[in-house]
């Protein structure tokens, strides 16, 4: 490949940066300063300068890539191997244990048997890696040259998202959700958390750090139900989320900071990306269970020599050469899902005895048994009582439930526009039940008279208020009864049941990546010494990104490709908005329920009428400008000083 850069040989041979790119720079450790030795962009310097094409150090025409797992992380790895690594698509093979690609990004069914989506995706505009990829993936419904990103922008630019009923209680009455309800002590505790170094938070849970007033606040209800956090989950992950989404905190209560796709996650993302990869020549082998890797370990490093699979009940060993690459998705948030329907519960009871025994976890456990550099999967898969919840997908013909839904909708549910704007949480539900209706149709072939709703609950160990069972013990019809009870339409239950198909999914590991962890529990994307192995997905370590997002999966895939191929290209750190003084000031005011924060009045006096006036948080103004508490007392202090001097 030297012919590509032959005209630059003199410069490259004299450069200390050539071949020594830090592929995953860390903004939280970088003091930004321009010096002669600093030739690469700052860690989180987002922008078009990062759009340079990667230049491989050698030809990969003879290299093969084996990608274990065809979820969004594996599919993204294939994309980056092709685009930036210049590896021929026909050399890339997916080994997938299921009969369909997409992993946890699912969406299936029909109006007759019922649709099912185990989960959904609340998206953010700052997902730089996700949009970097989907700007190049041909659109699902628009003609060439338009992309998935173009479709996404078209609908969200013209149909803003917000909720008018984020919280309900008392048989379906809309509850005031305008305030976070954090007292001064809890606000200070949040600030303390933001100031803490990540290294101080190993194995600490949220409830160990915050008191009862915080855990019972509206803020925590918004947060935990939107992101699926439990009190016993990782304080470190909560901190990372706070930094990652600090810019969106003022849209947390009404969900106005979110953007949603037109359709479900499978049709929106997996279908066009899968089509793109297959059209390029990528091979997908379904029903191919990978059990283990044969890794040769010596003083020079760790090299995968073979992939041990099971195909049609027989063990098949796939040899791997030194010039080949292997990408593994470690762990799975949707592994061992149990399903139910209107008349059948998904499980009889939560049973931890078999946790972590399925294929998605065993391959990670087998890797961890070879070396400590592969992490500690037991931290994440051994306590399903604390990592599980259940969702239900409702396929609805017109009924009393749809009539009630219209009261909470910001647009007509059949209009194709935003409906509930995200989840509606029932605050007096024992299960802490939430439900949502996204833009309809939610599936491309969905009939006009059908709506698809999604329901989930966080408290799996509690009995319902109306149905005296835990949610996993309930049939779909019993879940409808519990929902109708909380909506105040229990007297119309028969009508709702007759017009609603329910498909339930109990997921034992759905929030396992949130479990408290310490350094080393999650392996690096390319573990130390690995020559041809990369690990991707939700259970690997990144510098500052969070889990449970499509963005983090794409990020890990991109890091794996750049590091394994040693490309002259970096994966920029998360969006730097957390360091922006505008968002810091806005967050301070938002956490204080839009009341002035300490020093705001003084800042407004100093900056009023200057170029920097606009950095202060937005505020409503009457004809007469109101001074803040601090400003008023500053004036009184000046008068007092005049009196003293007089």
Residues labelled as active-site residues: 122, 241
Q: For residues 493 and 484, is the Cβ–Cβ distance under 8 A?
A: yes
Name the token pair of 382: 């051994």
* Element spanning 602, H or E: helix 600-607
Distance CA 353, CA 357 (A): 9
Distance CA 483, CA 393 (A): 13
Q: What is the DSSP letter of 296?
A: E
- Is cis: bond before 578, omega within 30 of 0? no
Backbone angles phi, psi at 99, to 5 degrees: -100, 10
Q: For residues 233 and 380, is the Cβ–Cβ distance under 8 A?
A: no
- Is cis: bond before 145, omega within 30 of 0? yes
Distance CA 61, CA 58 (A): 9
HSE value, Cβ hemisphere, 13 Å, CA-based, for 266: 19
Q: How far is CA 79 from CA 88, 98, 541, 559, 606, in A?
A: 11, 21, 21, 12, 51
Backbone angles phi, psi at 512, to 5 degrees: -65, -30
Distance CA 75, CA 77 (A): 5
Closest CA to 93 of 314, 260, 272, 280: 280
Distance CA 164, CA 547 (A): 28
Name the pairing type of β-strands 65-68 and 325-329.
Answer: parallel
Q: For residues 594 and 586, is the Cβ–Cβ distance under 8 A?
A: no
Q: How far is CA 294 from CA 432, 487, 643, in A?
A: 45, 55, 84
Q: Which residues contact 132 (CB under 8 A, 6 or more apart)?
A: 554, 558
Helices (H), 435-509: 476-487, 493-498
Q: Which residues contact 149 (CB under 8 A, 6 or more apart)?
A: 131, 134, 135, 137
Per residue, the 3-state secondary structure of 442-458, as one string, reads CCCCCCCCCEEEEEEEC
């Amino acid at each position: 490949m030297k012919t590509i850069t032959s005209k630059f040989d003199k410069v490259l041979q004299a450069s200390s940066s050539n071949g020594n790119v830090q592929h995953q720079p860390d903004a939280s450790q970088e003091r930004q300063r321009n010096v002669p030795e600093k030739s690469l962009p700052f860690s989180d310097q987002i922008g078009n300068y990062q759009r340079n094409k990667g230049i491989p150090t050698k030809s990969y025409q003879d290299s093969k890539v084996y990608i274990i797992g065809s979820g969004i992380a594996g599919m993204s790895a294939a994309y980056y191997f092709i685009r930036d690594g210049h590896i021929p698509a026909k050399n890339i093979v997916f080994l997938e244990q299921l009969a369909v690609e997409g992993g946890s990004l699912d969406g299936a069914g029909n109006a007759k048997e019922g649709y099912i989506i185990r989960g959904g995706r609340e998206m953010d505009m700052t997902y730089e890696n996700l949009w970097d990829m989907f700007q190049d993936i041909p659109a699902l419904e628009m003609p060439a040259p338009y992309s998935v990103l173009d479709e996404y922008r078209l609908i969200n630019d013209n149909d803003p998202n917000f909720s008018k009923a984020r919280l309900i209680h008392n048989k379906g009455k809309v509850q005031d959700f305008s305030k976070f309800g954090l007292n001064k002590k809890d606000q200070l505790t949040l600030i303390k958390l933001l100031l803490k170094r990540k290294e101080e938070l190993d194995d600490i849970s949220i409830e160990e750090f915050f008191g009862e007033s915080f855990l019972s606040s509206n803020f925590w209800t918004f947060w935990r139900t939107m992101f699926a956090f439990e009190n016993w989950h990782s304080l470190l992950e909560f901190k990372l989320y706070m930094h990652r989404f600090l810019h969106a905190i003022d849209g947390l209560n009404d969900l106005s900071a979110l953007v949603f796709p037109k359709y479900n996650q499978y049709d929106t993302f997996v279908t066009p990306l899968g089509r793109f990869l297959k059209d390029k020549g990528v091979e997908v082998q379904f029903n191919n269970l990978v059990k283990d890797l044969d890794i040769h370990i010596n003083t020079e490093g760790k090299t995968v020599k073979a992939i041990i699979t099971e195909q049609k009940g027989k063990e098949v060993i796939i040899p791997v050469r030194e010039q080949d690459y292997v990408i593994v998705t470690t762990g799975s948030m949707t592994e061992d899902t149990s399903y139910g329907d209107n008349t059948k519960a998904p499980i009889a009871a939560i049973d931890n005895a078999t946790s972590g025994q399925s294929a998605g976890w065993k391959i990670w456990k087998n890797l961890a048994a070879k070396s400590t550099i592969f992490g500690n999967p037991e931290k994440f898969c051994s306590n399903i009582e604390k990592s599980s919840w259940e969702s239900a997908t409702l396929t609805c013909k017109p009924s009393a439930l749809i009539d009630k839904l219209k009261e909470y909708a910001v647009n007509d549910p059949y209009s194709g526009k935003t409906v509930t704007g995200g989840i509606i949480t029932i605050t007096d539900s024992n299960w802490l039940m939430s439900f949502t209706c996204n833009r309809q149709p939610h599936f491309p072939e969905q009939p006009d008279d059908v709506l698809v709703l999604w329901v989930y609950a966080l408290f799996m160990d509690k009995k319902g208020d109306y149905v005296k069972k835990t949610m996993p013990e309930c049939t779909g019809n019993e879940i409808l009864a519990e929902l109708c009870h909380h909506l105040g339409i229990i007297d119309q239950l028969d009508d709702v049941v007759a017009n609603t198909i329910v498909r339930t999914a109990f997921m034992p590991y759905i929030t396992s990546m949130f479990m408290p962890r310490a350094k080393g529990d999650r392996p690096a994307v390319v573990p130390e010494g690995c020559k041809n192995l990369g690990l991707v997905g939700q259970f690997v370590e990144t510098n500052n990104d969070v889990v449970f997002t499509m963005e983090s999966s794409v990020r890990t895939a991109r890091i794996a490709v750049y590091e394994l191929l040693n490309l002259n290209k970096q994966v920029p750190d998360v969006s730097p908005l957390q360091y922006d003084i505008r968002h810091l000031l806005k967050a301070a005011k938002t956490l204080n329920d839009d009341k002035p924060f300490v020093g705001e009045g003084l800042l407004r006096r100093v900056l009023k009428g200057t170029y920097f006036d606009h950095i202060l948080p937005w505020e409503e103004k009457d004809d007469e400008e109101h001074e803040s508490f601090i400003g008023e007392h500053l004036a009184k202090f000046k008068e007092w000083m005049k009196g003293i001097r007089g």
